[in-house]
Structure 1
Amino acid sequence: MAWKTLDDMELSGKVVLTRVDINVPVEAGKVTDATRIERIAPTVKDILAKGGKPVLLAHFGRPKGKVVPEMSLRMTLPALEKVLGVPVAFAEDCVGDVAEKAIADLPPGSVLLLENTRFHAEEEKNDPAFAKAMAAIGDVYCNDAFSAAHRAHASTEGIARLLPACAGRLMQAELSALEKALGAPERPVVAVVGGAKVSTKLELLGNLIDKVDSIVIGGGMANTFLAAQGIDVGKSLCEHDMTGTAQEIMAKSEAANCTLVLPTDVVIAREFKANAPHEIVAANACPADAMILDAGPATIAQIALVFEAAKTIVWNGPLGAFEIAPFNAATDAAAKRAAALTKAGRVLTVAGGGDTVAALNASGAAEDFTYVSTAGGAFLEWLEGKVLPGVAALEQS
């Protein structure tokens, strides 16, 4: 672990510029889901307990460097105060005199939220002068926004090089979970890779082949791999122009001794709607007028056996059209099996990215996974083996 945590920092009397992700859903000016706010609470409370002044840096939406009133972070104040249980003050800017005065006026035991960093065009450009102006108002930098760590912005990367820097509790948990899952995992390691398109997961599959023992492929992606084997997938979602690439992936996985688990039976329907008439057929027996919408029971049983032998499971993407019944069956069953094995202490499970969180929540299995990341793009880029600027800056701090 090359980065520091809050435990390594002296915070008493210090202004702790804390980068958080509170880019939460809002309707009619009110926060409708406070999950991201709840996840930063341990960091903020620890800073307060150590005598520090938590000053929150965050973005909201895509204002593209302009002040957009509807994207002001002010609307998150009631939710922040409710979750944190302390007064939260607000400053109309994240740099300069306005921010400095708000920090000077902040009563002990309170939190300060600075206005949307993206109201400044210099933020996304990672402008050195802007990062310096931001750093000038604080004593210590704490990054608790893993979800923004794949962005080289002033508040995620630039500032970390200018102040004593550490990871917040959420960032620490995320990085620790990922390290256990792929950095130094207990084997065998199984990756579940689902979703609609092979083309969006090429880098992910390329990186995983050399790091895991098995890859379970599901969703529309699996149809492309079936087609690559000369199987007719009817009207299924399938990237026929990617079958050559799928063949290359199959060859690479064989050379690397990484087993690809593809559907042996599938659930088909003639229309894509909830409770549409459907049937189970062999993976190579999809009628020309039907579409594959989920993996079948024999495939679910096969996945369960792969999970039984695993010590680590990394999950990204659903196994079928999980949004509508009954095509959520494979995702739900596999998720529940992984969750049960985790609860029994037999496997470490780390999941995240895209529809994964929604799929695991829908199955009711998420709470029993070892770690479920809400980071989306950053989680996916980490799985792809890419360097995340926000993490690299902490390591070099």
Structure 2
Amino acid sequence: MAWKTLDDMDLDGKRVLTRVDINVPVEDGKVTDATRIERIAATVQDILARGGKPVLLAHFGRPKGERRDDMSLQMLIPCLEEVLGVDVVFAADCIGPVAQAVVDTLGDNQIALLENTRFHKGEEKNDPELAAQMAELGDVYCNDAFSAAHRAHASTEGLARLLPACAGRLMQGELMALESALGTPERPVLAVVGGAKVSTKLDLLGNLVEKVDMLVIGGGMANTFLAAQGIDVGKSLCEHDMTDTARVILGKAETEGCRILLPTDVVVAREFKEGAESETVPATACPADAMILDAGPESVAAVKAAIDEAKTLIWNGPLGAFEIAPFDTATNAAAKHAALRSEHGQLVSVAGGGDTVAALNKAGAASDFSYISTAGGAFLEWMEGKTLPGVAALDQGGPSDEEE
């Protein structure tokens, strides 16, 4: 990858337009989870330490080009100041004289926070004129929002082509982790993919069977693959109209030399609720009136053995209905085993996407994984082998400092 980092840029005295993702949960005007703000701290502090002036660009919610008080970034200022330890000066727009005045008067240990980029219709349309107006406010562009890198927006893709561009520390860490997992991984590579539906992860599965050595399929998706092999899955969540597709994926995996692991035993119940009466049966013996809600102990042992064999692990999605006990057993056991191997330096483990982070946190395993991505859609599109516009634009590098 040809992208530059902050280490490659001259920041002294420079205005650094820094695209961040601080689209955090808010209730009654207060931030309830500051994780995304905490993750930009290293970039902001590094820019300040090297004499730069951080100017934050970010979106919040889906205002669809309209100004909305309930989606103003101004309400994030107390949390930003607390987490970053700096004064935050707010501009009520992300372009024009209002923003320019704030950027021009920034003092030491101050950062500028520009208003929600999505208040402008041109943001999501990647409008060149909007990107050019944003570019007037900076000397260097730093993208630290991997989670928005799958969108070709003015503040993620357009700007990167107008200013000397680099990745921030969070983006840098994410890209390095992903490169180590699928770009140039240490083999064997194991992927664990779970979730409800095959239909939402077709591209993902199709790409992975070409890239990994072993693929564990869990959750509701596994039921569709079992059904594709002629196994009766009772009342389980299952996409029966996707069984032909599942068979194609199985055939492709065999051709590519990718070993697929499906459950050989399953935990079934007649109702989906906390503490529901359940039993473990062979995967081929699901009662007609029951639902498969988790993988059984024999299946968990097989997943653990695959984790022991692997040098690199990519994890996306739970192995069962992890939200309620006892159907979180397989996910918890496999996650803890992967965490232990990672903690001992025996495994490079990268996880991300939606329910994955919640499942690994619930299992108490997330902190010992090598890298946990909170990027959601961007992480999944990267796993699918798609080009991410925000990263591709960084590869272009923007104009050089000399050209500027």
TM-score, structure 2 normalization: 0.98
The corresponding residue for 1:388 is: 388
The corresponding residue for 2:103 is: 103
| One-letter amino acid of the counterpart of residue 128, structure 1 | P
Cα-to-partner distance string for 1:210-250 (whole Å, 9 max, x where unaligned)? 10000000000000000000000000000000000001111
Matching of residue 215 in structure 1 with residue 215 in structure 2:
yes
| One-letter amino acid of the counterpart of residue 212, structure 2 | V
Cα-to-partner distance string for 1:278-331 (whole Å, 9 max, x where unaligned)? 000000100000000000000000100000010000000000000001100000
Alignment partners' CA distance in 2, 1:133 and 1:87: 25
The corresponding residue for 2:364 is: 364
Per the alignment, in what secondary structure is the counterpart of residue 126 of structure 1?
coil
Alignment partners' CA distance in 2, 1:59 and 1:17: 14
The corresponding residue for 1:196 is: 196
| One-letter amino acid of the counterpart of residue 176, structure 2 | S
Matching of residue 165 in structure 1 with residue 165 in structure 2:
yes
Alignment partners' CA distance in 1, 2:278 and 2:209: 34
The corresponding residue for 1:24 is: 24
Alignment partners' CA distance in 2, 1:146 and 1:245: 31
Alignment partners' CA distance in 1, 2:145 and 2:302: 37
Deviation of the 1:174 alpha carbon: 0.1
The corresponding residue for 1:376 is: 376
In structure 1, the gaps of 5 or more residues are none
In structure 2, the gaps of 5 or more residues are 398-404
The corresponding residue for 2:265 is: 265
Instruction: Judge which range, 167-176 or 100-109, deviates more.
Output: 100-109
What are the residue-to-residue correspondences of 1:204-353 with 2, within 5 Å? 204-353=204-353
Alignment partners' CA distance in 2, 1:292 and 1:286: 7
The corresponding residue for 1:78 is: 78
Alignment partners' CA distance in 2, 1:212 and 1:322: 25
| One-letter amino acid of the counterpart of residue 225, structure 2 | F
Alignment partners' CA distance in 1, 2:312 and 2:170: 21
Per the alignment, in what secondary structure is the counterpart of residue 150 of structure 1?
coil
Per the alignment, in what secondary structure is the counterpart of residue 18 of structure 2?
strand
Deviation of the 1:52 alpha carbon: 0.3
Alignment partners' CA distance in 1, 2:221 and 2:293: 11
| One-letter amino acid of the counterpart of residue 218, structure 1 | G
Cα-to-partner distance string for 1:84-118 (whole Å, 9 max, x where unaligned)? 01111100000000000001121111111000000
Runs (4+) of structure 1 moved beyond 4 Å?
none
Alignment partners' CA distance in 2, 1:9 and 1:106: 20
Alignment partners' CA distance in 1, 2:89 and 2:320: 45
Alignment partners' CA distance in 1, 2:385 and 2:293: 30
Per the alignment, in what secondary structure is the counterpart of residue 210 of structure 1?
helix
Matching of residue 67 in structure 1 with residue 70 in structure 2:
no
Deviation of the 1:35 alpha carbon: 0.1
The percent of aligned pairs where both chains have the same amino acid is 73
Per the alignment, in what secondary structure is the counterpart of residue 287 of structure 1?
coil
Alignment partners' CA distance in 2, 1:105 and 1:257: 60
Alignment partners' CA distance in 2, 1:74 and 1:280: 53
Per the alignment, in what secondary structure is the counterpart of residue 359 of structure 2?
helix
TM-score, structure 1 normalization: 1.00
Alignment partners' CA distance in 2, 1:335 and 1:302: 13
Give the aligned CA root-mean-square deviation in angstroms: 0.4
Deviation of the 1:272 alpha carbon: 0.5
Alignment partners' CA distance in 1, 2:51 and 2:109: 8
Deviation of the 1:125 alpha carbon: 0.4
Per the alignment, in what secondary structure is the counterpart of residue 382 of structure 2?
helix
Matching of residue 117 in structure 1 with residue 110 in structure 2:
no
The corresponding residue for 1:88 is: 88
Alignment partners' CA distance in 2, 1:134 and 1:33: 29
